[in-house]
Structure 1
Amino acid sequence: MRGWWQDLTDLVLPAECGGCGTARTVLCAECRAALSGAVPRRVRPVSEPHGLPAVYAAAPYAGEVRAALLAHKERGALALAGALGAALAGAVRAGLRDGRTVRIVASWSGTAGGAGATGPVLLVPVPSAPWAVRARGHDPVRRIALAAAAELRRAGGSARVAPVLRQRRAVADQTGLNSRQRFANLAGALEVTAGGARLLAGGRVVLVDDLVTTGATLAEAARAVREAMGAEGAGEGTTAVYRRAAWEGREERQTGSREERAKWTRDAPVMAEVNGLAGPVRAAVVAAAPDSFEMNRN
């Protein structure tokens, strides 16, 4: 566990760049450009899971970006949260502007637009396992989300962090698991806290994480939010129908024909929007696997 004096020392006297190791700087100009210099883009994992919301990333997870994220998450380089939060804020803006997810004819802040375009931006961080928070001495995703919300407010938007997701059962460490194992590990693992659905009502929900690889975590987070909002808007019957369709769909995509999988994708409630949300659930991350930036896959 880090002491308060270590946090203060990191903020006042940064030892080295979190990306490349240059002395006496939190993040050098070159590494900052690698993190936030490109236009954030829509990303898709190579095997995109059903129920995954539209995901936007600021940078590929490689080189200096990977080093900075690991320094913040695993080595407690807390001073990097500001730069990482700014990159995440850029990905959030890109997702809210994209006409493929919602028509917005004014600024990203939602002062005007198509149906469902208004409402505060609610950044919902993917929760870390309690044991991981204890081991690291901080919750990296929540810290980055707070920095991103502050960045969005400085730009004139209405944004806040809504930490309404929690783990309802223990999950294994994802390191070393393949896509199928990750889906199985996370299936049904997250839930919205009591009263959390009311906090999300009327807001534009953006799930946030530091990194997306297979998309399993964000798909599970989206399932939990949609299920909670469906129950809030339509009663427990909606929850039961949703859960059955989601589980059947997971099995069908492994064994069913392409025609069957397409039918499930069109018809299942997982793909529908729920009452109480101002627009579809979206997701934003600091970084994504480099191959997920390839948008022309069939």
Structure 2
Amino acid sequence: MVGGVWGAAVDLLLGGGCAGCGVPGVTLCDGCRGLLSRMAPFRAWPDPPPHGLAPPTAAAPYGDQIRQLVIAHKENARYPLARPLGAALATAVRAALGEYRGVWLVPVPSAPATVRQRGHDPLRRISRAAARALRAHGIDARIAPALRLVRRPDDQAGLSAERRTANLAGAFGLRSRWAEPLTDQPIIVVDDVITTGSTLAEACRALESRGIPVLGCAVVAATVRRLPSGS
């Protein structure tokens, strides 16, 4: 609470505004916070789904305020947004888990150069917040930074679904020390946004190629144009 009050005070002094809608004085206004908390998780299969993608669940469509919140946290380092975005991710994880009361969250890895450029690892930050939210609901959630970048793929912007899949093939590998702890455990691969699903599918491949089945994937948001009808 103190951190939230301090963040709001700093935003007000520096002329900041809500990262979602721009209302002045707060990092996240009540309206945008409520928008995040009211979203109902849904199955977010891309169309077409890439081979090897475990069932994906999203907390919200990726558009309007949600998009602004994700970008503000990721690219503008507005750290207080990690907690509400993590809570949204936790709702998607809970829906993906079903009856399981424990889970390992495996974040999609970022390139070290990208993390240095941004000054933080946004997905790791959101994942930690999600794990705390899950534990508050009685779910034994732990973070497993089990994947690493074996090679850096080309920029994905503007690539078709097929080219994204080819671009990411073999990009991730399993850190060997995680092979035993993750064996026979409920695994959810997490990311902030799903578009074509190629990144998540590659993460699933890296785990399953080492004998670690993936229960599902969970994201904060799914790109609207990729949402299947009737899902």
Structure 1 ranges of 4+ moved more than 3 A: 9-12
- Shift in alpha-carbon separation, 1:46–1:194, aligned structure 2, 3 A: same
2:57 counterpart of 1:123 = no
What SS class does the counterpart of residue 139 from structure 2 fall into? Answer: coil
What SS class does the counterpart of residue 13 from structure 1 fall into? Answer: helix
- The answer as to whether partners of 2:46 and 2:228 remain within 8 angstroms in 1 is no
- 1:139: which partner in 2? 121
- Shift in alpha-carbon separation, 1:12–1:172, aligned structure 2, 3 A: farther
Give distance in 2, aligned partners of 1:225 and 1:67: 31
Q: Which amino acid aligns with 1:38?
A: M
Q: CA deviation at 1:26?
A: 2.1
- 2:76: which partner in 1? 75
RMSD: 1.7
Name the % identity.
46
Unaligned runs of 5+ in 2: 1-5
Task: Give per-residue Cα distances to partners, 1:59-117, cap 9 Å, x unaligned.
Answer: 111000000000000011111000000000000001112xxxxxx3xxx52xxxxxxxx
- 1:196: which partner in 2? 178
Q: CA deviation at 1:296?
A: 3.8
- 1:13: which partner in 2? 10
Q: Which entry has the higher C-alpha Rg, 1 or 2? A: 1
What SS class does the counterpart of residue 228 from structure 1 fall into? Answer: coil
Task: Give per-residue Cα distances to partners, 1:226-267, cap 9 Å, x unaligned.
Answer: 01126xxxxxxxxxxxxxxxxxxxxxxxxxxxxxxxxxxxxx
What SS class does the counterpart of residue 229 from structure 1 fall into? Answer: coil
What SS class does the counterpart of residue 26 from structure 1 fall into? Answer: coil
Q: CA deviation at 1:129?
A: 1.3
Unaligned runs of 5+ in 1: 1-8, 98-103, 110-119, 231-273, 275-279
- 1:293: which partner in 2? 227
Q: How many positions carry a matched residue from both structures?
A: 222
Which TM-score applies when normalising by structure 1? Answer: 0.71
Q: CA deviation at 1:282?
A: 0.7
Structure with the larger strand share: 2
- 1:255: which partner in 2? none
Task: Give per-residue Cα distances to partners, 1:140-176, cap 9 Å, x unaligned.
Answer: 1111000000000111110111011011012112122
Give distance in 1, aligned partners of 2:56 and 2:47: 13
2:156 counterpart of 1:222 = no
